[in-house]
Structure 1
């Protein structure tokens, strides 16, 4: 699947703010045949689903896959999918929806869980069926995961004092287990190599931003270097670097401008041009917003 094709489709893409609380962008639900989403859709947030019992069908990128008890699946942002019941079969699925920043300071820990990032965000970019984000957990791990999910579900339903901290702690445990299982689940060196290539392309795109910040960089062209759709690339930047595309590019440019102001005698207008700003007024506003002072005051302070 080419992710760029997703954005030319006419199915709904749900903004996370429409589905999750901005203050704590997290939700956990129990899904059964009568409450599942049968409509083809996508969403901005990450979704982890665990089949607690029974079996159902999952449509991803136009392909149908059978899910059974013990399967753990990841639905990354902007990937089209839908559920479908199997004839004369019941199922029960625990669905966890969240944005990475629901973990607050632990976001950095999540970003450093490279194997989890590969499973949840990178692996789905590779279209071969055997690389889709699905794991059949062994019985011993199923028990652990089910206990974790039950604790999270209880905390979410009762919402007693401290429930958010409790959910974050259990969610991090779930992510660590997912990381370890995926590492054991990786089928072959070739599979790992494909995932590694996509990961490499992502970090090369960031490096390109850091070395070509003075150019008129467009999100679409940089995302293409990362082998990702624009919105997906920006979401990944938010996960791994804590900033969207615009925020990261602005940060890189302002950091470069600060270095020019401290280390050279170039005037502010020339510095603005060298770091990618065609209009001095825009540069001055952005610099002050980022640092709290004007470029001129910054130079005076550091001389």
Structure 2
């Protein structure tokens, strides 16, 4: 068990719109080591501060954009007597898009925010020093978001989503340029972790009838279990249990409509050892019992 607090996204002000933006200074920063379930993007507006993550210390300066992925312990600290202003954006993927499908296709952003922190050795944090023209664009976007968040006029959530999407697109494009300067070894490691993640999903889709456990699938994905489940929310919009249930129920629907197998046999074929559990899960996903589904789809 970790000995530092882990903040859940439900602690954000609006559970239906899990988003928050704050200005951090030496007086308002969180000085304790912590982690959170949501994604955090931070941008240094001015000055310099220290950042600790996974036991290593980094210096952040004006123009740095960096990501704090879910469940990564970290801590901010002042740099001697230097002052700083940092914009901190906290959000869950569905705050941007309910399904997040569109954003999940932005592979460079996903690599920057979720994948690279797992694999980088020399520079753990995916920090990018933005060039001056990009700094101006990012600062303008952040100021618009800050204003919308503060005033909360009609339509402010939609306005924030629009600006946040722009920010993520810029982040992805900038990371593409940034990654071109990285070593071939590091690029290969990022690709390896990404491929392992998708291979784990493919295994779930093909071997859903097996007794699959989150811990085992996370090993295939080269991720910690909690992180793997969170990544599934990003890419597929479902947690591990939700995705596995969805795959199994889809397979059972095909068997109910296309075979003469009885419900108990079908439940066993798709990975359910208890018929009562299968019936409950099936009705939760489809709104009807397996028997009623078969009557209407035979």
Normalised by the length of structure 2, the TM-score is 0.97
1:56-83 alpha-carbon deviations (Å, 9 max, x no partner): 0000100000000000010000000000
Name the residue aligned to 2:209. Answer: 214
- The question of whether the paired residues in 2 share the 8 Å contact of 1:131 and 1:191 is answered with no
* One of 111, 116, 119 as aligned partner of 2:109: 116
Cα separation, 2, equivalents of 1:22 and 1:62: 31
Name the residue aligned to 2:16. Answer: 23
Correspondences of 1:203-242 after superposition (within 5 Å): 203-242=198-237
1:167-208 alpha-carbon deviations (Å, 9 max, x no partner): 000000000000000000011332211100000000010011
Cα separation, 1, equivalents of 2:65 and 2:284: 43
Cα separation, 1, equivalents of 2:37 and 2:69: 8
Cα separation, 1, equivalents of 2:258 and 2:108: 40
Name the residue aligned to 2:55. Answer: 62
Name the residue aligned to 1:4. Answer: none
SS across alignment from 1:129: coil
SS across alignment from 2:43: strand
Question: Following TM superposition, by how much is the alpha carbon of 1:281 offset from its aligned partner in structure 2, in angstroms?
Answer: 1.4
CA-atom RMSD in angstroms: 1.1
Cα separation, 2, equivalents of 1:172 and 1:53: 23
Name the residue aligned to 1:49. Answer: 42
- The question of whether the paired residues in 1 share the 8 Å contact of 2:12 and 2:19 is answered with no
- The question of whether the paired residues in 2 share the 8 Å contact of 1:126 and 1:132 is answered with no
Question: Following TM superposition, by how much is the alpha carbon of 1:130 offset from its aligned partner in structure 2, in angstroms?
Answer: 2.7
Of 99-108 and 10-19, deviating more is 99-108
Where has structure 1 moved over 2 Å in runs of 4 or more?
129-132
1:81-101 alpha-carbon deviations (Å, 9 max, x no partner): 000101111100000000111
Of 39-48 and 190-199, deviating more is 190-199
Name the residue aligned to 2:7. Answer: 14
Q: Does 1:202 align with 2:205?
A: no
Q: Does 1:277 align with 2:272?
A: yes
Structure 2: runs of 5 or more not aligned: none
SS across alignment from 1:266: coil
Cα separation, 1, equivalents of 2:284 and 2:61: 52
* One of 70, 75, 78 as aligned partner of 1:82: 75
Cα separation, 2, equivalents of 1:106 and 1:266: 34
* One of 228, 247, 253 as aligned partner of 2:248: 253
* One of 122, 131, 140 as aligned partner of 2:133: 140
1:39-62 alpha-carbon deviations (Å, 9 max, x no partner): 110000000000000000000100
Cα separation, 2, equivalents of 1:139 and 1:106: 34
Distance 1:245 1:205, change over 3 A: same
Name the residue aligned to 2:91. Answer: 98
Cα separation, 2, equivalents of 1:195 and 1:35: 34
Question: Following TM superposition, by how much is the alpha carbon of 1:212 offset from its aligned partner in structure 2, in angstroms?
Answer: 1.4
Name the residue aligned to 2:184. Answer: 189
Name the residue aligned to 1:5. Answer: none
Question: Following TM superposition, by how much is the alpha carbon of 1:213 offset from its aligned partner in structure 2, in angstroms?
Answer: 0.9
* One of 280, 288, 291 as aligned partner of 1:293: 288
Normalised by the length of structure 1, the TM-score is 0.95
Name the residue aligned to 2:149. Answer: 156
Cα separation, 2, equivalents of 1:106 and 1:141: 28
Name the residue aligned to 2:173. Answer: 180
SS across alignment from 2:97: helix
